[in-house]
Amino acid sequence: MSEFEIIRRYFTRASSSAVLGIGDDAALVRVAPECELAVSTDTLIEGRHFFAGADPYPLGRKSLAVNLSDMAAIGAQPRWILLSLSLPGADEKWLELFSRGLFELADKHAVELIGGDTCRGPLSICVTIMGEVAAGRALRRDGARPGDDVWVSGSLGDAALALAHLENRIALSPDDFERCARALDYPVPRIELGRKLHGIASALIDISDGLTADLGHILERSHVGATIKVAGIPRSAILRRYLPARAALQALLAGGDDYELCFTAPSSLRAEVKALARKVDVPLTCIGKIESAGGLRLLDERGHAVDMELRAFDHFA
């Protein structure tokens, strides 16, 4: 199968929302008037972001999900993607399952694949995503103010718990592992929540590298600090069962791969946040407060500092 055959068979579909889709030297898109184009890219590399031989169906989904999460995290409506694939060979079964996973999630969010690149090499998947956001209304990392509440969506740590099990850092029961592996393989991007946080959130980020690291980015960019009550961080019944094991606490606070949203909002807007949680049917939990003193303080139930070295994943550390 040739390169063009791969593109035609697995990745070309009729274009509807783009001015020009796959097949020319560049795609053409028209951004709605009064909107800015939000652009982001994320790469998944075999042996680094996923295990060699990983199931291609969830991989196709996740390649898009992590990019959708970046659109959610800036409050944009995702519209178009580019897909750059490096493939060791033209494995038809792999391509069929990978593209099915990718398109299923793309269709769910009305996102269109409008171009990309296909070459031979070690397996790696790079998705570039574009979305629209009302001009000047993007929810950035630099808007947190002292006195704001810190909120997170959903619950944290299950995906990292599955990874800890796979890396023999903790032993989960087969049932617990299966449930946590779903969180790892099928993250749910919080698109609707992100878009509806306009007018409520002062700063917003998605939790991909772990709560402490990603909240840390908000603090740094906003020149503020925060105090977080660890007992108040939402966690699943499964994760609760494995606490206080260090690997479970680590998963909750610094695990990564959650793809939940973390945002700050003025405390005068608590009722609005709670109403939004009901509207989009996503639990939202207040976990702490923004303060003018820099740094992140983690407190246990007795108000003592949680002293634990929490290092987020860094490719070059």
Interface residues with Mg ion (CB under 5 A)? 117
Structure tokens belonging to residue 129: 């995503």
Binding site for ligand ADP (CB under 6 A): 7, 11, 22-25, 83, 85, 113, 115-118
Least Å from the CB of residue 199 to ligand ADP: 36
Q: Count Cβ neighbours within 10 Å for each residue of 245-254 and write b for 16 or more, e otherwise.
A: bebbbbbbbb
When the beta carbons of 118 and 285 are compared against ligand ADP, the nearer one is: 118
**Sheet order of strands, 124-134 included:** 35-45, 124-134, 77-87, 112-120
Contact 148, 222 (CB under 8 A): no
Q: Which does 290 bind (CB under 5 to 8 A by kind): ligand ADP, Mg ion, none?
A: none
Q: Which does 130 bind (CB under 5 to 8 A by kind): ligand ADP, Mg ion, none?
A: none
Contact 30, 115 (CB under 8 A): no
- For residue 93, the surrounding DSSP H or E stretch is helix 92-108
Q: Which does 11 bind (CB under 5 to 8 A by kind): Mg ion, ligand ADP, none?
A: ligand ADP
Q: Count Cβ neighbours within 10 Å for each residue of 85-114 and write b for 16 or more, e otherwise.
A: bbbeebeeebbebbbebbbebbeebebbbb
Least Å from the CB of residue 210 to ligand ADP: 31
When the beta carbons of 11 and 259 are compared against ligand ADP, the nearer one is: 11
When the beta carbons of 105 and 200 are compared against ligand ADP, the nearer one is: 105
How many CB atoms within 10 Å of residue 226?
Answer: 26
Q: Cα separation of 188 and 105, whole Å?
A: 10
Least Å from the CB of residue 7 to ligand ADP: 5
When the beta carbons of 116 and 147 are compared against ligand ADP, the nearer one is: 116
- For residue 264, the surrounding DSSP H or E stretch is strand 260-265
Q: Which does 85 bind (CB under 5 to 8 A by kind): ligand ADP, Mg ion, none?
A: ligand ADP
Residue the block writes with tokens 């939990």? 285
When the beta carbons of 24 and 314 are compared against ligand ADP, the nearer one is: 24
Q: Which does 115 bind (CB under 5 to 8 A by kind): ligand ADP, Mg ion, none?
A: ligand ADP
Helix axes 158-166, 174-185, angle to 10 degrees: 120
When the beta carbons of 3 and 142 are compared against ligand ADP, the nearer one is: 3
Q: First and final CA of the chain: distance in angstroms?
A: 40
Least Å from the CB of residue 127 to ligand ADP: 10
Q: Which does 25 bind (CB under 5 to 8 A by kind): ligand ADP, Mg ion, none?
A: ligand ADP
Least Å from the CB of residue 50 to ligand ADP: 18
Residue 30 phi, psi (nearest 5): -115, 120
When the beta carbons of 107 and 117 are compared against Mg ion, the nearer one is: 117
Q: Which does 83 bind (CB under 5 to 8 A by kind): ligand ADP, Mg ion, none?
A: ligand ADP
Least Å from the CB of residue 301 to ligand ADP: 51
Contact 277, 271 (CB under 8 A): no
Q: Which does 307 bind (CB under 5 to 8 A by kind): Mg ion, ligand ADP, none?
A: none
Q: Which residue is nearest to Mg ion (CB)?
A: 117
Q: In this structure, what DSSP letter does residue 19 have?
A: S
Least Å from the CB of residue 72 to Mg ion: 29
Least Å from the CB of residue 91 to Mg ion: 20
